[in-house]
Structure 1
Amino acid sequence: MRAVTIDEGRLEIRDHPDPEPGAGEVLVRVRAAGLNGGDMMQRRGLYPAPPGAPQDIPGLELAGEVAAMGPGVTRFADGDRVMAVVAGGGQAELAVVHERLAMPVPEALGWPEAGGFPEVFTTAHDALFTQAALASGDRLLVHGAAGGVGTAAVQLGRGAGARVTATVRNEALRSGVEELGATVVEPEGFEAHGPFDVVLELVGAPNLAPNVGALATGGRIVVIGISAGAKAELNLGALMGTRGTVRGSTLRPRPLEEKALAARAVERHVLPLVERGAVSVPIADTFPLDQAEDAYDRFAEGGKLGKVVLTLR
């Protein structure tokens, strides 16, 4: 099979042995694979794949058709359309996925949308509901809302009955985020629009102090992105004053059982919204596998609403 391959920071398309599914696993013929911030970090040597995942083939999400099944598979059959979060190796013609991590692709999604769905919607749903216990009527703030996870979080928050405020730095992208269901504000001075019950932090350290200052009583901050910095000073007195909480979360290194629970939650609560057209997967751009370098450049340059996705025949 051919796959995007990282070699000392360079991206190349190389031939690799075809993977074989083990017990409980399906072999997927990949049709689309979304790019994520973790791929950028892995390319730079800052986010290695966990043990058992390909160390030189990036890709944290994929969609495609079941091409073969390992022993004991019961959830899927040959030819089924599936999508999944994977620990690595998604940007390849073939990939192995444990059946418990795979989800059926709704008919409402084409391949690019399906390839850009699993990582961002699973991450957003887990952070908002499992970690932050977002509820109807809550005031939700999403930082960096024009990206893949941000656009997913805005829609999920709106669908849950929350009042969603979103920060978007690029003025040209604000109307697109507003159409997804948020009141969009500039990043500077966002705290004036609070207080907020839940803050989803996708930017990082510079927002920590104003996030705490903008918390409602009992408010929750969930940090899942640190592209703008990982270290900040925390005023514990201010946090105590609101009886607030700050927690961080990642998806990639979790054990199979926890990832499977997250996938089942998305199946139960998000896929029905997709089928009804209540949520969508905004696609900023698509690139064929051979143009992976261009796709990574497009992701890195910013100024995009939604996902950058690699497509395969």
Structure 2
Amino acid sequence: MADTMRAVDIKNGTGPATSLYINSSTPKPKPRTTDAIVKIKCFGLNRMDLLQREGHYPVPPQAPKTLGVEFSGTIESFGSDAESGFKKGDEVFGLAYGGAYAEYIAVSTHMLMHKPEELSWEQAAGVPETWITASQAMYLVGGFTPGKTILWHAGASSVSIAGIQLSRADNATAIYVTASSQEKIDFCVKQLGATAGFNYHTQNWSEEILKATGGKGVDIIIDFIGQNYFQGNLDAAARDGHIVNLGTMSGTKLPAGVDIGAFVRKRLRFEGSSLRSQDENYQGTLRNTLAEHALPKMREGSFKIPIEKVFPWEEVVKAHQLMENNQTKGKIICRID
């Protein structure tokens, strides 16, 4: 068996999208005791990949340098103490600390799921990171229960696409989104079931949220933006509301004049969350939650897994450039043939 494989690498360690290339002499991973070795069919892109490529993401110490955290493929081999329920040749998809932009990956069996036959390899590769992140933010961190209202920023992003559908299926009273265009808002409302959406380029979304809710605001806000939305989130949150921050796309430094009085006046909670830094037992719990609540609806087709575009992995540069354009309405997937 060969000791090397092909994997996407970065010239000089970090750089722009054009620095990505396929390195044909990458060491093939070896399994730990609880790992499986999976031969990858497809991998999904995530915004953290762009940050990691540029050297701006805190990579967990157990992650390999190769990019990528979600994938689909077939099990080739196991470590000595892998989780029962899997066998060689099984079609699986899963979440990893890194290493998915490659022909093979070593991943804990606690972070694998059997691929339903109803899902394509491309769809399966686009599920783990986004749907697990959405369910973690909404349920475990945000404390969502049926009847609450929720706002998903970046409504046409893959995580929010999952979150909107989870919110609808679990009987949110109202589901609001922000997005950069009317096309994206229509997609969220007409195809995914959001209640209403607001264009952050042309509308004051926090004021619109208050109008839509009769001044009450929303119970849970899921935010990826950070600095630019901090004040708006405080304004749009309901009393005893919970703001869950998953990213800081606009920056981390708050401008002068931010009014934090709402924290006391409304009894708000602001909580940051990440998935990649969690241990594999925690991620295994999230995997089981996803398998219980989302996979049945994916099999029957009531949960959509929109794919923006599938690239052959030799075009990974184009895939990253497309994600950087911020114009997508679904997952970007690379396929290894």
TM-score normalised by the shorter chain: which range applies?
over 0.9
TM-score (norm 2): 0.89
Contact 1:159 1:278 in 2 (8 A): no
What is the rounded CA distance, in whole Å, between the counterparts of 1:153 and 1:312 in structure 2?
28
**Is the aligned partner of 1:167 residue 2:183?**
no
**Is the aligned partner of 1:185 residue 2:198?**
yes
**Is the aligned partner of 1:106 residue 2:116?**
yes
Amino acid aligned to 1:123? T
RMSD (CA atoms): 1.3
Report deviation, 1:125. 0.4
Contact 2:309 2:332 in 1 (8 A): yes
Contact 1:218 1:243 in 2 (8 A): yes
Report deviation, 1:48. 4.4
Residue identity (%) = 30
**Is the aligned partner of 1:222 residue 2:222?**
no
Contact 1:143 1:202 in 2 (8 A): yes
Amino acid aligned to 1:244? L
Contact 1:4 1:92 in 2 (8 A): yes
Unaligned runs of 5+ in 1: none
Correspondence for 2:10 among 6, 9, 17: 6
Amino acid aligned to 2:328? K
Report deviation, 1:19. 1.5
What is the rounded CA distance, in whole Å, between the counterparts of 2:279 and 2:209 in structure 1?
38
What is the rounded CA distance, in whole Å, between the counterparts of 1:290 and 1:119 in structure 2?
22
What is the rounded CA distance, in whole Å, between the counterparts of 2:253 and 2:97 in structure 1?
26
What is the rounded CA distance, in whole Å, between the counterparts of 2:304 and 2:35 in structure 1?
28
Alignment match, 1:278: 302
What is the rounded CA distance, in whole Å, between the counterparts of 2:45 and 2:219 in structure 1?
30
What is the rounded CA distance, in whole Å, between the counterparts of 1:284 and 1:238 in structure 2?
38
Alignment match, 1:288: 312
Report deviation, 1:232. 2.2
Aligned residues: 312
Q: Which moved more, 1:199-208 or 1:231-240?
A: 231-240
Alignment match, 1:232: 254
SS in 1 for 2:76: strand
Amino acid aligned to 2:11? D
Report deviation, 1:260. 1.5
**Is the aligned partner of 1:63 residue 2:50?**
no
Alignment match, 1:269: 293
**Is the aligned partner of 1:138 residue 2:148?**
yes
TM-score (norm 1): 0.96
What is the rounded CA distance, in whole Å, between the counterparts of 2:306 and 2:198 in structure 1?
20
Correspondence for 1:31 among 35, 41, 46: 41
What is the rounded CA distance, in whole Å, between the counterparts of 1:302 and 1:32 in structure 2?
22
**Is the aligned partner of 1:311 residue 2:328?**
no
Report deviation, 1:75. 2.6
What is the rounded CA distance, in whole Å, between the counterparts of 2:310 and 2:274 in structure 1?
26
Matching of residues 52-91 of structure 1 within 5 Å: 52-55=62-65, 57-73=66-82, 74-91=84-101
Alignment match, 2:125: 115
Over alpha carbons, which structure has the higher Rg?
2
Contact 1:30 1:94 in 2 (8 A): yes
Contact 1:170 1:303 in 2 (8 A): no
**Is the aligned partner of 1:93 residue 2:103?**
yes
Q: Which moved more, 1:269-278 or 1:192-201?
A: 269-278
Contact 1:66 1:79 in 2 (8 A): yes
Matching of residues 236-275 of structure 1 within 5 Å: 236-275=260-299
